[in-house]
Structure formats: C-alpha cells, structure tokens
C-alpha cells in the first residue's frame, strides 16, 4: 500500500515561513506566516485578499520552530497524544520534529519518533512525529483526518506579527491548563508584600501597627555632625 499524506500537511511541513514574500518584496511587513491549505502555499499579509475564501491557518514561531494553534489543527487531523504548549493563553502544537541536541539521561517518557523527553501521558512531541508514527504502524493516515471545508483566521490573529520567543525549552501544559503563569511585576509584588506586612502588624496591636508604618515609611534624616572636641 502506498503511503499517502494530504497535500496541506506536506505544505505545513515543507513550505518556508518567516521569510520575505517575493511577490511583495517592496511592501513592509511582508513576512510569510500564513498557510493556505487549499493552495498549499505560504502567504504574507498582503497575499491574503486573494485567498480570503480559502482555508487558512496562521503559523507562529516558538523557540525558532513553527507552531500552529491546536484548535485549528484539531479541525483537520486528530492531535491526541501530541504534547501541547501554551503561548499567549492559546494551546499550540509543533509542526515538525525537534530532535534533542543532547541525549537525555534518566528515566521518563519519550517521543515515539525523535526520543525527545515528554510529559506524561503524551507520546509525540510534534504533529510530524505523530504522522510518522501512524504511517509506520498502520501505513494509512485517513482514519485520523477530519473533514474541514472552512477554516479562517481568527479576529485575534495579527498576521503582521509572529510570536518569536527567545527562551529555553517551553514548559508544557496539561489538557486542564488554559493559561500560562505570568509573574507579577516588581511594583505589584512589593505592594502585596507591604499590604500583608501592615495587616499582620495591625493584628498584633496598635503599637505594632505604628511601628510598622514608621518602618515602612522610614527615610533618611538630615545628617548631623558630631560635636567638636
């Protein structure tokens, strides 16, 4: 049996994204970060009007690898057992394989195709790894494909900008997670600590509260010279 993959899947894996569009070289913000699944080609924001009735997905970049929102991919193909990641409050899935640069030492869960370390209970680190695994095992991808006649960019998608995060390996999230944790800013953290400190001081007594307020608002006084001998 011949191994078959849909043309749009090949386009996601093989098309070049985050490069300048040659058709709009003179225009600003001409980075190709949208994939037309009907034409199987990558598009820049200036290409979109001629493809507005086609199936479109936005491709983003995370730690120098292409990702697509899980919600969009689930309309096209079964993404179960593929480890998702959270970017800007949206779950995304890596498109291509991401072999580890160094061997992981220790026990754990590993990707079915590239041996990347995963969280339980996921089996694949990317959509490409799952596709390769299914084709090796079953030689047929059709049971995992879904019918999707219409797929448009969401209103929140900003095709003039792509998400580029210069960080280390992203933290995976479980299926129950919806948002990434964002640490409070320094000013907010200081305000919370000071409020907690005053509340504890007030509960200890009025004198303690006065001392807490005095210590919290303490400033250096005018320096005095020591008397001459």
Closest to 35 (Cα-Cα) out of 53, 62, 8, 61: 8
Distances (CA, A) of 112 to 17, 115, 136: 26, 6, 11
Closest to 163 (Cα-Cα) out of 64, 61, 51: 61
Within 8 A by CB and 6+ apart from 10, the residues are: 40
The number of beta carbons lying within 10 Å of the beta carbon of residue 84 is 21
pLDDT digits (tens, 9 = 90+) for 49-107: 999 999 999 999 988 899 999 999 999 999 999 999 998 889 999 999 886 766 655 56
Please report the pLDDT score of residue 164 as a whole number. Answer: 43
Question: What are the E-state strand segments in the chain?
Answer: 34-36, 41-43, 56-62, 65-69, 85-87, 90-94, 109-110, 117-118
d(CA 207, CA 220) in angstroms, rounded, equals: 22
Q: What is the DSSP letter of 185?
A: P
Per-residue confidence at 162, pLDDT binned at 50, 70, 90? low
Domain boundaries, the chain: 7-144, 186-213
Q: Percentage of the chain surpassing pLDDT 70?
A: 63
Per-residue confidence at 109, pLDDT binned at 50, 70, 90? confident
Please report the pLDDT score of residue 103 as a whole number. Answer: 62
* Buried b or exposed e, range 112-149, using 16+ CB within 10 angstroms: bbbebebeeebbbbbbbbbbbbbeeeeeebeeeeeeee
Residue 181 has pLDDT above 60, yes or no: no
Please report the pLDDT score of residue 189 as a whole number. Answer: 44
Q: Of 222 and 150, which is predicted with more confidence?
A: 150
Please report the pLDDT score of residue 63 as a whole number. Answer: 84
Residue 228 has pLDDT above 80, yes or no: no
């Amino acid at each position: 049996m011949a191994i078959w993959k849909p043309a749009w899947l090949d386009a996601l894996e093989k098309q070049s994204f985050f490069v300048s569009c040659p058709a709009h070289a003179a225009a600003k913000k001409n980075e190709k970060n949208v994939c037309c699944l009907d034409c199987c080609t990558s598009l820049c924001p200036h290409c979109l009007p001629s493809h507005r009735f086609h199936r479109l997905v936005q491709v983003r970049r995370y730690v120098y690898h292409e990702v697509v929102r899980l919600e969009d991919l689930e309309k096209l193909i079964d993404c179960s057992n593929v480890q998702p990641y959270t970017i800007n409050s949206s779950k995304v899935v890596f498109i291509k394989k991401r072999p580890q640069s160094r061997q992981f030492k220790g026990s754990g869960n590993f990707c079915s195709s590239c041996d990347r370390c995963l969280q339980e209970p996921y089996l694949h680190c990317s959509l490409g790894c799952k596709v390769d695994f299914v084709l090796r095992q079953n030689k047929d991808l059709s049971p995992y494909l879904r019918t999707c006649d219409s797929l448009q960019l969401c209103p929140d998608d900003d095709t003039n900008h792509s998400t580029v995060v210069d960080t280390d390996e992203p933290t995976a999230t479980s299926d129950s997670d919806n948002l990434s944790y964002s640490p409070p800013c320094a000013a907010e953290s200081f305000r919370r600590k000071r409020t907690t400190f005053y509340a504890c001081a007030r509960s200890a007594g009025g004198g303690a509260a006065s001392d807490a307020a005095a210590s919290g608002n303490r400033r250096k006084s005018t320096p005095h010279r020591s008397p001459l001998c």
